[in-house]
Amino acid sequence: MKKKALAVTITAVMILTVFSSCKAPDEEKIEETEITTVSETTVTESTVTETTTAETTAAEPVHNGGYVTFGHYEQDGDESNGAEPIEWIVLSEEDGRTLLISRYILDYQPYNEEFADVTWETCTLRAWLNNDFLNAAFDASEQEQIITVTNSNPDNESPFGVAEGGNDTEDKVFLLSSDEADALFPNDDARAVDRCEWWWLRSPGYISLRAAVVLTIGEIYTHGHTVSFNYFDHGVRPALWADLGTEEQ
pLDDT in tens, the chain (249 residues): 444 443 433 344 333 343 334 543 333 443 443 333 223 322 233 333 333 333 443 333 334 679 999 999 999 999 999 999 999 999 999 999 999 999 999 999 999 999 999 999 999 999 999 999 999 999 999 999 999 999 999 889 988 889 999 999 999 999 999 999 999 999 999 999 988 899 999 999 999 999 999 999 999 999 999 999 887 778 999 999 999 984 444
Mean pLDDT computed over every residue of the chain: 79
- Residue extents of the structural domains in the chain: 24-247
Which pairs count as long-range contacts for 42-48, CB under 8 Å and 24+ apart, including other chains?
Answer: 42/159, 43/223, 45/158, 45/159, 46/156, 46/158, 46/159, 46/160, 46/206, 46/222, 46/223, 47/156, 47/157, 47/158, 47/159, 47/222, 48/156, 48/178, 48/179, 48/182, 48/203, 48/212, 48/220, 48/222
pLDDT digits (tens, 9 = 90+) for 102-129: 999 999 999 999 999 999 999 999 999 9
Prediction pTM value: 0.76
Integer CA distances (angstroms), 192 to 13, 102, 104, in order: 28, 12, 10
